[in-house]
Amino acid sequence: MDAKTRIESFVSSASGALATIGSSWQVCHNICLAALALLASIGIVITGMPLLFLFEYNLYFWGAAVLLLALTLTMFLRNPACGSKNVLAFNVGVVIAGTPGQFLGGFQPLFWGVGGVIALTGIVGWWLKRKKGEK
C-alpha cells in the first residue's frame, strides 16, 4: 500500500470516527429533549438553561465542527459524487452562523445573517431538487 492510499485510508477512518462521535451527541441531545418534553407534559417545567455548563466548551465544539467540515469539504472536492452540495452548503452556513462571539466582536449579527443565507440556500436547493424528483 503506498503512502497516498494510507493517508486517504486514515482520513476516511478519522472522518468515520468523528461522525460516530457527532451522531452520539445527536442521540444524547434528542434523549435530553425528549426527557424535557416528557417532564413538561406532566407539569414539571425546567426553567433556566440546564445545559448552560456546556457554554464554556463552545469553542471546542465549534472547533470540532470546523474540523469535520474541513474533512467533509476535502472529501467532496476530491469526489463530488460522494455527497450533496446542498447539505454541504447548509453545514457551511450553520458553522459560519455558529462562530463563537469571542472571535467576532460586534460582527456576530453579520455572521448570523451570512450563515443563515448560506444555510437557507442549501435548504432551498435541496427542496427544489426533491420537488423535481431527483435523488
Give 81-104 pLDDT, tens digit per residue.
878 888 889 889 988 888 887 777
The rounded mean pLDDT for the chain is 80
**In this predicted structure, what is the pLDDT of residue 117?**
94
**Model pTM score:** 0.62
Q: Are 15 and 72 in contact (CB under 8 A)?
A: yes
48: left (phi > 0), else alpha (psi -120 to 50), else beta? left
pLDDT digits (tens, 9 = 90+) for 98-115: 888 777 778 888 988 999
pLDDT digits (tens, 9 = 90+) for 30-65: 777 777 788 788 887 776 566 667 778 878 888 888
